[in-house]
Structure 1
Amino acid sequence: MLLMRLGQGREAEVFAWADGYVLKLFWPEFSQEDAELEARLTQQVWLLGVPSPRVEDVLEFEGRWGLVLEWIRGVPLTEYIQANPDRLRFAAQMLGALHRQLHSKAAGHLPSQRLHLIQRIQACRLPEAQREALLQHLEQLPDGSVLCHGDFHPENVLLGEQGVFVVDWPNVTRGNPMADIARTTLLMLYSELPHDLPAREEIMHQRQYFYQTYLEHYQNFSGLDMAQLRAWMPIVAAARLRENIPHEEPRLMRLIQEGLQERSA
């Protein structure tokens, strides 16, 4: 059976499936259990009333596991910007408002953000003393109970005729919104943007402006404690370290060291 591929990422490829649906087909290293877990999480998010795809099925296709999802007919914000770079400011404002909308949702029985971060810190390649310092620092930060995407950035936001939707929910948790914003901060300001990312040059050239516009628009809907945001940065940097992206490691190590130094000052 020949499928039309719509896109791909680090975890999966996305194909047109049946009328109104897509197949998110995971790479072979992902198991049935992985697919079923993401299906449950994505469906819980949809049931909360979040603008996100509905899950139709979990299936095996040519030896790989995948999710059949409602087809959200739209383009990522990066492609929206690429089509007209003058849209960059509006896209950043939209991102801030949408992130605040997610954080207005109580997260019910979704997994614990704190436990997720602890597990990643414990598994990352850092000296034991540094891991312990990070875990002690995490203990001092407040917990939360709101919906946190865990990987919120322009590629995971689709804009189409029916509005704005958020996709890719495998890292969704119940937690503190400041930690979720810190993760987005890390991705927007410090991550290595893929060379084939639409609008890469525009975003690289204006990434600080894009980030500040996103943050200011979030603040229009909700006050932000910038000291708390800075306090979460070494935690999310250590969790990102667990993802084993070699060219990002020097920047992540610097964020971890600076964050711990600020805490002990």
Structure 2
Amino acid sequence: MEAWGEKIGQGRTADVYALGEDRIVKVFRQPQLLEFEWTVAECLDDSSVPRPRVYGRQEQDGMQGIVYERIQGPTMMAQLAARPEEVEAFGRLLARLHAELHKAGAGRLPSHKEVLAHGIRRSRALLTEHRERAVLRLLESLPEGMTLCHGDFHPDNVMYGQQGPVVIDWMTATRGMPAADAARTLMLLRHAELPEEMPEPVQQAVKALRARLLGAYEAEYLRLSGVSKEELASWEAPLMAARLGESVPERECVRLLELIDERLG
């Protein structure tokens, strides 16, 4: 059996080792997480969405890993920073990748609505009981779906390899409604707080660029998917409430709570 090579990455759930020049193995600390990611890979088998190739499983010293194609290029965010004049083109590409992803089924993955409900309850201390109940009632009224949803789709989760862009980081994948997944992307592009240490002039420039990216993404996604702006808006309050449980900066929390109150009326 081929030995695992140099450790090149470490996350909360797995370690990543090099297997030569063109492959890596992602070694999970909990077997159920490996099974989850393997299920996601199976959901993608019939999809044309570009992602790192999966070569199978490998076991060593009682630990199991999944062997993937090694992608060594920059993220879309890095490409955008290097070529800001192409921001609209990047936004349209982001939308095309997302719309293609939403053509895949995901029957064996967790329900997106259930994941959101868990996130909303985790945010209870910030939401207050009244808001929590109202948001959960709203979430309950929204449709279930059987479509593959990425769960955290944004420019840092698209990388450029030798064959072009690929979508990475599938640990938040669920089955749900495409509109909910796209609405989260829009929420992040609109409201995710920039680092406080970033100088104000730079923040303003980044926000302007991000607004152009958002506009191009939204227009292209609506055109390709047939989803309406009203469908996107219907998911905003539950998504924002669940976002509060992700250890976001205080300024973002304050803004999201204001927006949640607006959406709840």
TM-score interval (norm. to shorter): 0.7 to 0.9
CA distance 1:59–1:242, change in 2 (3 Å): farther
Q: Which runs of 5+ in 1 are unaligned?
A: none
User: Relative to 1, partners in 2 of residues 1:21 and 1:225: Cα closer, same or farther, differing over 3 Å?
Assistant: same
Alignment of 1:16-95 (within 5 A): 16-24=18-26, 31-33=29-31, 35-49=33-47, 50-53=49-52, 54=54, 56-57=56-57, 67-95=66-94
- Judged with a 3 Å threshold, the aligned counterparts in structure 2 of structure 1 residues 18 and 56 are, in CA distance, closer, same or farther, namely farther
8 Å Cα contact 2:222-2:228 kept in structure 1: no
Q: Give the match for residue 95 of structure 2.
A: 96
Q: In 2, are the aligned partners of 1:35 and 1:58 still within 8 Å (CA)?
A: no
The Cα offsets for residues 160-190 of structure 1, whole Å up to 9 and x where unpaired, read as 3312211101111111111101110111110
TM-score, normalised by the number of residues in structure 1? 0.82
In structure 2, how many angstroms separate the alpha carbons of the residues matched to 1:146 and 1:112? 10
Aligned partners of 2:109 and 2:175 also within 8 Å: yes
Q: 1:11 to 1:109 in 2, by over 3 A?
A: closer
Aligned to 2:24, the other structure's residue is in SS state strand
CA–CA distance in 1 between the matches of 2:181 and 2:12?
Answer: 20
**CA positional deviation for 1:154:** 0.3
Alignment-derived partner of residue 257 in structure 2: 253
TM, length-normalised to structure 2: 0.82
Matching of residues 136-151 of structure 1 within 5 Å: 136-151=137-152
Matched, 1:159 2:163: no
What 5-or-longer segments of structure 2 have no aligned partner?
none
**What is the root-mean-square deviation in Å for CA atoms of aligned residues?**
3.1
Query: Aligned letter for 1:151?
Result: D
Deviation at 1:82, TM superposition (A): 2.3
Report the CA distance between 1:238 and its aligned residue. Answer: 1.1
